Chains A and B, each alone.
Chain A
Amino acid sequence: MTQEILFYVFSFLTLLSGILVVANPVSRNPVTSAMFLVLTILFMAGLFVLLHAFFLAAVQILVYAGAVIVLFLFVIMLLDLKEEETRRVRKIGAGIGILAVASVFGLMARTIGTIPPTASSGASRPTLEGLTAPLGNALFKQYLLPFEILSILLLVAMVGVILLSKKDLR
């Protein structure tokens, strides 16, 4: 029961802050939009927790609400998008956006329609648990070698970025 209430609360808040990202009646400042995007992502993480996808929820907050939003804010502040506040929404852009959303909805509706009714009855539901333990097991047992190679890859990327972007290499 509590789960259902929480689901509706989180869904409502996700949708509300999602709308406020693109159509805020009070402010058209890009920074405000970015902040509402943080809220959208946080509430979505709440939905993931309700689905027992704890790792995904944590990653969602760490990576999206943390790193990606910081990147967004950097770009917004560096570019100093003042004219964005006064710019009007173009009709073509809005049309394409509505078309894209409608197609995604159509695709989702079709996919849900193809699920056989027995799937939701619980018997054949896959035992997918988003705990960190199975993930760790997969990473450190089944996929140990690619995981370790990725650490070399990250080292190469770090060394490369420093070499290519540092102002004075002396």
Chain B
Amino acid sequence: MNVSLTILELAVVSLGIAILLVDLWLPEQHRRLLGYTAAAGVGLILVASFLISVPSAEYAFGKMYVMDPLALFFKRFFLLAGAIVLLLSVEFSDRIETGIGEYYTIILFALSGMMFAASANDLILVFVALELITVAFYVLTSFQRNNIKSLEAGVKYLILGALASAFMVYGIALIFGTANSTKFGDILAVAGSVSSNPLFLLGILFVLVGLGFKIAAFPFQMWAPDVYQGSPTPTTALLAVGSKAAGIVLLLRILFSAVPQIASQWTSLLIVISGVTILYGNLCALPQRSLKRLLGYSSIAHAGYLLLGVAAVSMAGSSAILYYLLGYLFTVLAAFTVICIVMREVDNDDISSFEGLHARSPLLAATLSLAMISLAGIPPLAGFFGKFLLLKAVIEQGANEPGYYCLVIVALVGVVISLYYYLGVVRTVYWTNPSPGQASILVSTPVRFMIYACIVGMLYLGLLPNAAVNLAIRAVQVFHL
């Protein structure tokens, strides 16, 4: 039993417990330090993760847990997102009346759940890791318990999350009943004989439904806008990046490591879901006036773009997903950082609160605009190259099935629609004057560095994509495609 493989998760969990305990004895005025410590700790673990190298897949706990390049890629991804979100929570801490120490702790535990999910090689571990993430998010979404919107978000997430878990567990039970194992390796071995069994297919379908809720794909997207709008902003940021990426990595692992034959049989289903998700997200985002809600719909659209890569059922598609997620991380976290800081002045995320932002804080205005341009997919930022890779992967598969060409057209239509609302935000930021009496916004030094890091990330991935693309290609070698 090779316990040392789980060292990164153990480090995050220990950090979480340490923060929880230190919080008991720490005087009120030093609470800010606690958040910085947590962020620095996660940053250190991220740096330490580069000491680990996994030339080939290694297993622990009876092949339940796998450590391979894909797992390591996503663990680093989650650690990076976690460090940024923790810094963002320090910025947010004055708006949380009580229990800020617990807020950091639960973020850390959610982070460990995502990291376990990245290494899951067994449906039981998939379920337990997902539950850890989801239960942590039930608390994180309703953390501002004096704010009625935050509570509404929490209740909605709780009910739909429970429904998703029910689907998931039912699916796992059906798979176990027909394939007689929950391990991905065993399922792959018997998949040839059971893949015609309708109960087995129903099981796979239910597991996909459970994951569909997590990534907010149509028709399981209805929770996303309300929850994104009502939750505390750092929670929304973690939900948009971490929870979605965890759902995607599990989707990739289950579809391409456990049941690759079924994945290639179900391409039409994946194509339809991807196309409808893109159109739904983009069309519903058009009339939104609340920026967080707009980003909620935009995240649905992006789930659709990510599903392009899944629908392609190819190495190129999977590696494009990984690259796209990396760009999405920097972009979305930059956007939510700006929202978080601006909402400190006016407790309102209506787009009109961002009027004349260029005069109040040039840095924030530039960051928000860059993030919107990257989300829209305009060169030279990360979002453009990610969409390019995804569409390229889909077109490559077009020779096998003409449906792929329709999907490309739908995706392009979606991109064009999205230009309208993303650029609308940019227009509000630059082409309006601040209403009188609005002072300029101060940005604290750690947050300033974080914003620079996000901008550098967006530009680097867009201008010099080679290193990241190679990393992504190496990570997806683990799939049986």
Contact = CB atoms under 8 A, between A and B. Distances in A.
Interface of A: 141-146, 149-150, 152-153, 155-157, 159-160, 163-164, 169-170
Interface residues of B, number: 35
A170 B61 contact: no
Contacts of B125: 145-146, 149
Interface string B98-115: 110010011001101100
Interface in B385-433: none
Contacts of B64: 143, 145-146
Contacts of B20: 159
Query: Main SS of the interface on chain B?
Result: helix
B128 A150 contact: yes
5 contacts: A145-B125, A146-B64, A153-B131, A156-B136, A159-B105
B132 interface: yes
Nearest to A157: B135
A170 B98 contact: yes
Contacts of A142: 62
A115 to B, nearest CB: 17
A169 B97 contact: yes
Nearest to A150: B128
B132 A160 contact: no
**Interface pairs A-B: 4 shortest CB-CB:** A160-B139, A169-B98, A146-B128, A145-B61
B103 to A, nearest CB: 9
Given A149-B116, A169-B99, A163 B131 contact: no
A162 to B, nearest CB: 8
Contact of A155 (B97, B109, B145): B109
Given A146-B124, A155-B109, A159-B139, 6 more contacts: A149-B125, A159-B106, A160-B136, A160-B139, A163-B102, A164-B142
B63 to A, nearest CB: 11
B65 A163 contact: no
A36 to B, nearest CB: 30
A156 B129 contact: no
Contacts of A144: 1, 61
Contacts of B145: 163-164
A119 to B, nearest CB: 18
Contacts of B138: 160
B13 interface: yes
B112 A152 contact: yes
Given A142-B62, A146-B125, A153 B102 contact: no
A149 B20 CA distance: 17
A153 B135 contact: yes
B143 interface: yes
B462 to A, nearest CB: 37
A3 to B, nearest CB: 31
Contacts of B61: 144-145
A145 B97 CA distance: 36
Nearest to B154: A164
Contacts of B112: 152
Contact of B106 (A143, A156, A170): A156
B309 to A, nearest CB: 28
A156 B135 contact: yes
Contacts of B124: 143, 146
Given A145-B64, A159-B20, A163-B143, A153 B106 contact: no
Nearest to A160: B139
Contacts of A157: 135
Interface string B58-98: 00111011000000000000000000000000000000011
